[in-house]
Amino acid sequence: MSVAQKAVVATASPRAFLLKQIALFAGAVLFVFVLSLTYGLDLSPGFF
């Protein structure tokens, strides 16, 4: 089995794919949550 075929087999794991998708979704949720916390907050340079 060539290196390319091994890479395809390694990335084709349904469990790894699912974990990657869950991690990406959790990151997006966290990003939106942080954005919602800063809504209306004055983040101009003079604030710091």
Does any domain span residue 48? no
The answer to the question of residue 43 being in a domain is no
Eight-state DSSP code of residue 44: S
Q: Tell me the whole-structure pTM to 2 decimals.
A: 0.58
Task: Note down the domain range covering 18.
Answer: 3-38
Tell whether 47 is covered by a domain.
no
Phi (first) and psi of residue 9, to 5 degrees:
-65, -40
How many domains does the structure of the chain reveal? 1
| Alpha-carbon gap, residue 37 to 45, rounded angstroms | 18
Look at residue 32 and tell me if it is in a domain.
Answer: yes
DSSP conformation letters of the chain: --HHHHHHHHHT-HHHHHHHHHHHHHHHHHHHHHHHHTTT---SGGG-
Closest CA to 20 of 12, 31, 30, 32: 12
- On whether residue 12 sits in a domain, the answer given is yes
Model confidence over 4-36: pLDDT tens digits?
A: 566 555 556 889 899 999 999 999 999 999 999
